[in-house]
Structure 1
Amino acid sequence: MKKIFANNPIRYSLLVLGGIFIGWLLFHSSNAPTPTHEHAHEHEAMQSTIWTCSMHPQIRKDKPGKCPICAMELIPLNQGGNVSVDPAAIQFTKEAAELANVQTTMVTRQKPIKEVRLYGKVQADERLLQSQVAHIPGRIEKLLVNFTGETVRKGQPLALIYSPDLVTAQQELLEAANTKQSQPEIYEAAKGKLRQWKLTETQIAQVEKSGTVQTNFELVSNTSGIVTARKVNNGDYISKGSALFDIADLSSVWALFDAYESDLPFLSQGDKITFTVQAIPGKLFAGTITFIDPVIDPTNRVAKVRVEVGNRDGILKPEMFITGMAAANLAQYKNKMIIPRSAVLWTGKRSIVYVKLANSNEPIFKVREIVLGPALGNSYIVESGLKEGEALVTQGAFSVDAAAQLEGKPSMMNTEGTQVSTSSMPGMDMGNSSDKVDKHASIKLGSESKHIALEHKMIKVFGNCDMCR
């Protein structure tokens, strides 16, 4: 043996090195620390973490990555919180609810006041319209009021008239005045004849005092207002009762509104109306409904609603456009629940809302069908379907509905709730084969299939979907 190692030192060296290596392996293995239970638990936790998309909660992965629908980074699912036990409910993560701007409001009972918007015009008060007529026959010698729109006062001369009958009546008055002491009845009859022709006591006294017959006599106005029509010219012959001018007193005017058939049940005499005039911005007028036309106009299907407005300063002029708002107090719907208009989703005859589950602190919502009453401007009266104190989605209801449709839960267009198909689209690869999704998914509604372009809903929900760019 000594001869072998002595004759072959290389073999001896290899044998020594092999022994040292075997000894190092033995001692190193015995001194190496073993994995603690804490590390084992962390490894198990990593293995059990579920990763989901903040905008598409139906996505479930056992490792981080990107959402196959919108390409957002997956986030760990908080499995320690409240989880909905209702299979029809849709659960959001808090991050998803914030991104979708989902806001809720408590359902309360309120005093229902319906705002009815009306449109109309300013019109002259028909009771203050008057025609200035001639009470004696004759010829227009001179018009003292020459154009439409001129303002006249009561007692103001309007025209000079020559009348043969009036000349004869003046002569009879002068003759009767000479015998008024002996024949007072004839004197009073002559004066009465002039009074019937609407001559004033001042005009009769002037004739009697002058002792001469006047050939041209003044026709005076018996009212104050604006001349709305001139119907004679200089030199025209007129008969008794002929209309010379139309005069309107605009110290008080009417605000006439057009009310459609659907608005009439909410309007009644005595209701307050505030209105604005297009030609007078910044000024608010107010009045009370004094009359509602009992007949519907067959042409435009509206009824006239009248409001009387004082107009001493004359700023309201006939034919001005006005916009009014009537606040109708709906006593028959007293103590009804009122919800914002933005909370309601319409599906033909159905109206639905999303209600937050009361026994959960997480954003978990469930669709509910309700029965609505009249609309109150930006809100609705709820006849049935909600309870006071429930939390209602008032902002982002469409985002919640889109998530419910994607997850196959009951939603606006999917009353029963069916699973959404996510078969892969040929030619689209977003990672591995499990991340391929059909861009246009199909939702089965009852016995028929309706294809909905889900990319439009993803844009509405998120607004930055890579697949829709």
Structure 2
Amino acid sequence: MKKMSYIAGLVIALIAGIALSAAYFSNFGNNKPPKKIIKKMVMPVKKGVFVSSRQRQLYGITVGTVKYRKISRIIKSIGELTTAEPLIKKISLRYSGYITKLYANKPGMKIFAGEKLFKIYSPSIFNAEKNLFLAYKNYKNAKKTNYKFNISESKRYYRAAEKRLELYGGISGSQINEIKKGIYVKSDIAIYSDMSGILLKKYVYSGQHFTRGQTLFKIAGLNKLWMNAWIYQNDLKFIRKNSGVSVEFSAYPGRIFNGRVSFVYPYLKSRARITEARIVFNNRKGLLQPGMFGNVKFVIKPQRQLSVKASSVLWTGTKPLVFIYGGKGYFVPEHVVLGKRWGNYYPVINGLRAGEKVVTSGTFLISSDANLKQSVNSMAGMPGM
């Protein structure tokens, strides 16, 4: 870029030199070029750059008005789908024992509510089953005697045994009813899943001993998924909870999946200077899978703001420049402070007022013409010119 700027400067200086040389030799013998030439080529500092109507037509220069507009904002990002933490469940038991048989033995396999996960043998459960069976049997025998004290006491013991087995967990109500009837008193019992999802990970094998509270399986429901999308700190003020989001995945080109922002993390990552927004998707059809990357668009509600067309702005280094039309063919350069570009417009923070007219096309040509005239102006004051 520096080389190109240097070459462009040389070309402009060369053109200016040729023009001045022609003027000088046409008035040979004088030390100064003709006044008409100088007056035509030098840029008046106060009025700005003069461009004749013929030049405006030739350059295709148009003028527009700075005004308040409703600017619609779209913030683009990327994100990765993950399992929703509220739908992740770790399977553990409140007693120790042994795995006698595994049914859920392949990570990634689908699990349905009510499906067998594994069978276990536990001395604690086996004794609790026998106690419940005997307590219930005594209760039925006491009812036959019609002796109220025996009935109430046997019922209390029976209820306590039933409650104890319920508190152990992992045993359904139908299993408890079968135990009371003497149908289901067995050394090993089946443990069923109480949710549908996929088996994320298994931590045990058939025949393995497990302890109380040990994690045996991890299951995740996929009816809802989370996506963590990156947000730069400049865009944080526009992202709010419940903001609408549209995402496109490469697995489904042309198809848009809509979601909602449920949470914006209240801190930035120190190195990248970004934060993340959590987006929730309904996935009842099961089309989406954890680990998918998607192109995210945050749709921000339109806001009324003073703005200028992007084609009006000329970036000179780090400072944006616009040409304000001052009337009678004069265009005045003005540095402005702008916000982040949204579509075809820049929000105006400082430097312009509503109603002012600015160049909307041909800005670069006016700037080039102004640079040429400045070069000629500086050369006109040199000795011998």
Judge same fold: TM > 0.5, yes or no.
yes
Aligned-partner SS, 1:111: strand
In structure 1, the partner of 2:260 is: 288
Structure 1: which amino acid aligns with 2:186? Q
In structure 2, the partner of 1:386 is: 352
Quickly say closer, same or farther: Cα 1:62–1:392, change in 2 above 3 A: same
**Equivalent residues in 2 for 1:140-151 (5 A)?**
140-151=99-110
Quickly say closer, same or farther: Cα 1:307–1:85, change in 2 above 3 A: closer
Structure 1: which amino acid aligns with 2:316? T
Pick one of 238, 248, 252 that aligns with 1:266.
238
In structure 2, the partner of 1:171 is: 130
Deviation at 1:99? 5.5
What does the per-residue CA deviation read over 1:160-190, in whole Å, with 9 as the maximum and x for residues that have no partner? 1122222222222222232113212222222
Structure 1: which amino acid aligns with 2:217? F
Pick one of 144, 150, 153 that aligns with 2:112.
153
Pick one of 45, 70, 78 that aligns with 1:119.
78
Partners of 2:327 and 2:238 lie apart in 1 by: 36
Partners of 1:277 and 1:144 lie apart in 2 by: 34
Deviation at 1:85? 11
Quickly say closer, same or farther: Cα 1:61–1:311, change in 2 above 3 A: same
1:371 partnered with 2:331: no
Quickly say closer, same or farther: Cα 1:105–1:205, change in 2 above 3 A: same
**Equivalent residues in 2 for 1:290-309 (5 A)?**
290-309=262-281
1:193 partnered with 2:164: yes
Deviation at 1:142? 1.2
- Give the TM-score of the pair, scaled to structure 1: 0.64
Quickly say closer, same or farther: Cα 1:247–1:98, change in 2 above 3 A: farther
Deviation at 1:223? 1.7
Q: Which runs of 5+ in 1 are unaligned?
A: 1-54, 64-83, 410-416, 424-469
**Equivalent residues in 2 for 1:33-432 (5 A)?**
88-92=48-52, 94=54, 97=56, 100-181=59-140, 182=142, 183-198=154-169, 199-211=171-183, 213-329=185-301, 334=304, 336-360=305-329, 365-408=331-374, 418-419=377-378
Partners of 1:289 and 1:89 lie apart in 2 by: 50
Determine if contact 1:407/1:420 at 8 Å carries over to the other structure: no
Question: Whose helix fraction is larger, Structure 1's or Structure 2's?
Answer: 2
Deviation at 1:329? 4.8
Determine if contact 1:266/1:330 at 8 Å carries over to the other structure: no
Determine if contact 2:77/2:229 at 8 Å carries over to the other structure: yes
Structure 1: which amino acid aligns with 2:309? P
Determine if contact 1:122/1:321 at 8 Å carries over to the other structure: yes
Quickly say closer, same or farther: Cα 1:212–1:399, change in 2 above 3 A: closer
Deviation at 1:320? 1.5
Quickly say closer, same or farther: Cα 1:85–1:203, change in 2 above 3 A: closer
Quickly say closer, same or farther: Cα 1:385–1:177, change in 2 above 3 A: closer
Aligned-partner SS, 1:117: strand
What does the per-residue CA deviation read over 1:428-454, in whole Å, with 9 as the maximum and x for residues that have no partner? xxxxxxxxxxxxxxxxxxxxxxxxxxx
Structure index of larger Rg? 1
Partners of 1:311 and 1:226 lie apart in 2 by: 13
Structure 2: which amino acid aligns with 1:261? Q
Determine if contact 1:405/1:420 at 8 Å carries over to the other structure: no
**Higher RCO, 1 vs 2 (CA within 8 Å, ≥6 residues apart):** 2
Aligned-partner SS, 2:241: coil
Q: Which runs of 5+ in 2 are unaligned?
A: 1-14, 24-43, 143-153
